[in-house]
Amino acid sequence: MSISRHTPTAPTGLRRLAAGAGIDAHHHDEHQIVYAARGVLSVTTDRGRWIAPATRAIWVPAGTVHEHRAYGRTDVHLVGLPVEVNPLALHAPAVLAVEPLLRELIIEYTRDPDAGGPAERDRLLAVLLDRLRHSPRHPVHLPTPSDPRLAAVCALLHDDPADGRTLAQLGAEAGASERTLSRLFRAELRMTFPQWRTQLRLHHALILLAERTPVTTVAHRCGWASASAFIDVFRRTFGHTPGRNR
């Protein structure tokens, strides 16, 4: 990642980002909740990339060097939290489910940080944190490989998520056996090759949907045999159909 700037306090508030805009690498001394109520936002660290539609928020622990990028016009709601406030005891980035009440709490808390008195703000934050404690984590994470053979295979699929070649076929181009690559996927990325490829395809799908690409086109560009197969995987992962992201 690029050189990181240090912003001690994690800001709370609303940032409106144009499609393709981003926030350069930086880190805070506090935790932060990052939620895109409109559009799709990615958070990238040296450990990989997390991406979230409007049913998910991203937890960024204190000290994590990260950068943001918006896909589609994106409303980014940021909640900064003191380092001692960690309701889920998370010490690595994570994607969290955002149910309707939590969504409204985040939007209200970040709409105008100067509105209301301290007591009202404290009550609102207390309820927000209580709802956050009930938010399940979701493995919508695309880890970054370090082994050059594994990185070469991942790069091939990043370039074309619809590439349907087997791991053995991809390995022949990257100069590694299927057995070696399978071991590396599990050891480095903590998932199997099919699991990683599905995550990659979902990440690309979210980006294309934010750009208002038709669902059927997204399905084929990302490697699903049919729109219905794509919709099924998307619904099971995000809890809603892909049409809601457009």
pLDDT of 53-81, one tens digit each? 888 899 999 999 999 999 888 999 999 99
For residue 243, count CB atoms less than 10 angstroms from its CB and return exposed for 0-12, middle for 13-18, buried for 19 or more: exposed
Distances (CA, A) of 86 to 33, 95, 150, 236: 11, 15, 34, 28
The predicted-structure confidence for 180-237, as pLDDT tens digits, reads as follows: 999 999 999 999 999 999 999 999 999 999 888 999 999 999 999 999 999 999 998 8
Q: What pLDDT score was predicted for residue 148? A: 94
For the entire predicted model, the pTM comes to 0.82
Q: What pLDDT score was predicted for residue 46? A: 86
Mean pLDDT, range 6-17, rounded to an integer: 93
Distances (CA, A) of 87 to 61, 105, 149: 12, 16, 39
In the three-class reduction of DSSP (H, G, I as helix; E, B as strand; rest coil), residue 154 is classed as helix
- Reported as half-sphere exposure (CB side, CA atoms, 13 A), residue 138 has a value of 21
The predicted-structure confidence for 19-40, as pLDDT tens digits, reads as follows: 889 889 999 999 999 999 988 8
Q: Which residue has the higher pLDDT, 226 or 244?
A: 226
Q: Whose structure tokens read 């060097």?
A: 65
Contact 217, 162 (CB under 8 A): no
Q: What pLDDT score was predicted for residue 240? A: 81
The predicted-structure confidence for 78-95, as pLDDT tens digits, reads as follows: 999 999 999 989 998 988
Q: Which of 172, 175, 179, 169 is nearest to 148 (CA)?
A: 175
Question: In this structure, what token pair is assigned to residue 180?
Answer: 């070696």
Q: What pLDDT score was predicted for residue 246? A: 54
Q: What pLDDT score was predicted for residue 32? A: 96
In whole angstroms, what is the distance from residue 29 CA to residue 32 CA? 10
In whole numbers, what is the pLDDT of the chain averaged over residues?
Answer: 91
- Tell me the Cα Rg of the chain: 19
In whole angstroms, what is the distance from residue 18 CA to residue 6 CA? 24
Mean pLDDT, range 136-145, rounded to an integer: 80
CA angle, 216 as apex, 211 and 220 as ends, to 5°?
Answer: 95
Residue 2 scores a pLDDT above 70: no
Q: Which of 58, 66, 96 is nearest to 5 (CA)?
A: 66
In the three-class reduction of DSSP (H, G, I as helix; E, B as strand; rest coil), residue 117 is classed as coil
Q: What pLDDT score was predicted for residue 1? A: 56
